[in-house]
Amino acid sequence: MPLFQYTAMDSVGKEKKGKMEASSEDAVAASLKEQGMFPTSIKATKGAAKKESGPAKDGKKKGMSMSLNFGPMVIKVKDLTVLTRQLAILLDAGLPLIRSLRTLEKQSRNPAIKKTLNDAANSVEGGSTFSEALSQHPKSFNKLYLNMVRAGEAAGAMELILNRLAVFMEKAARIVGKVKSALIYPCVVLTIALLITSGLMVFIVPKFQKIFQDLLAGEPLPALTAFVMKISEVMQTQFIQAGIVIAVFGVAFKIFSKTQKGKYIIDWVLFRLPLFGPIISKSSISRFSRTLGTLLSSGVPVLNALIIVKETAGNETVSKAVQQVHDAVKEGEGMASPLAATKIFPDMVISMIEVGEETGKLPEMLEKVADTYEEEVDNAVSGLTSMIEPLMIVGLAVIVGTIVIALFMPLIKIIEKIGSS
């Protein structure tokens, strides 16, 4: 029988790790639930993988099975949001889960959705729970999704939970889209500015340099002109070297950004950027509040909810802060005080969470915080876009204008020289 390694949370939120022999991951999850534990990770050990990778018992050719393996099919977030909404509507209309899955499978033209729904329906027909069936596709369904579905199964309100999930995903996608739109515009303008400047320096400036050498006969050029000519010369003669340096820097940055410390430093810097920092900060707070509020209102225990929020925060600075809150709550403290100690969350957020804890309406308060900060992100993005546009135009005008002035200064000298002769 295959051997699996598991990580699970007990009833007080303490993490436990171990190994278990079972027929499948679903069997491990079921056994852990019977013991009162909440599984967060189940993986087959190398020994189990070897057993599974042996020759097929049905006598099929190995080559044929390899030729049909194109890797896991992943459902995109946008498609998953629509699918979640459709499934909630069918369940709310009174259709059984298996029939709902089969109906959506027949209607869908997306290969990834069809395969996932077929696998899920087969698993449920075989006796697995819906959450266990979805856990077989971790690339499509993250821990937040799976834990909310588990909460829906436990509460017997799957359609309500799926509706909440769909609303959450729609709002999360909207906030991400707003932040991306705020970042894309200046990047596009900056790229165009760099292309125009590079074109001037590489193709136009050298021609003027030749004219100046012929007509000024060794006379010194104005300081600004000499500076521009030097930059142009460097861009022409050391183009390959500069490209290599940029490529090496890019690869090094990518490797650094993959490390835990690198992610934290980059996110810390992003939080404190002059123009974009407030938008990134507000969107992260909105995501934290929306995720935690949705999980708590769905019946997920607070310690488990904080772990899920930490893993789905999308920002290492927030993840580290949530871990501190989790550790404090596990010791019996409230959430407001450790949140204040992180120095990330504004006083208004901490006050609302404190009121929510005192009144027993924390999920509702978190939803209000998320709504407030989503609106603030909206206003910040609009303000940033309207401010960046003139700044970019002025910046581009200054760069191009400097090059043009640098080229015209020797021309004026040449014209005066011709006029005097």
DSSP 196-235: HHHHIIIIIHHHHHHHHHHHHTTPPPPHHHHHHHHHHHHH
- Could you tell me which of 156, 130, 155 has the C-alpha nearest to residue 145? 130
Long-range contacts of range 14-18, CB-CB < 8 Å, 24 or more positions apart? 14/330, 15/40
Helix, strand, coil percent content, the chain, rounded in steps of 5 = 75, 5, 20
Q: Rounded to 5 degrees, what are φ and ψ at 202? A: -90, -35
Q: Rounded to 5 degrees, what are φ and ψ at 11? A: -65, -20
Taking only the tens of pLDDT, the chain with its 421 residues reads 678 888 776 655 567 788 888 877 777 777 877 777 767 677 777 544 433 334 334 443 333 333 333 445 789 888 999 999 999 899 888 889 999 999 999 998 999 999 999 999 999 998 888 988 998 888 888 888 888 888 788 777 888 888 888 888 888 888 778 777 777 877 888 888 888 888 888 888 888 888 887 777 667 888 888 888 888 888 888 778 878 888 999 999 999 988 888 888 988 888 888 877 888 888 888 888 888 888 888 888 888 888 888 887 878 888 888 999 999 998 888 888 888 888 888 888 899 999 998 898 998 999 899 889 888 888 887 787 778 778 888 888 888 888 888 888 888 877 877 777 6
Domains of the chain: 3-51 (3.10.20), 77-169 (1.20.81.30), 171-421 (1.20.81.30)
| CA distances, 185 to each of 57, 197, 226, 385 (Å) | 56, 18, 34, 8
Looking at residue 399, its amino acid is I
| Chain-centre distance for alpha carbon 119 | 27
Distance (Å, whole) CA 170 – CA 172: 6
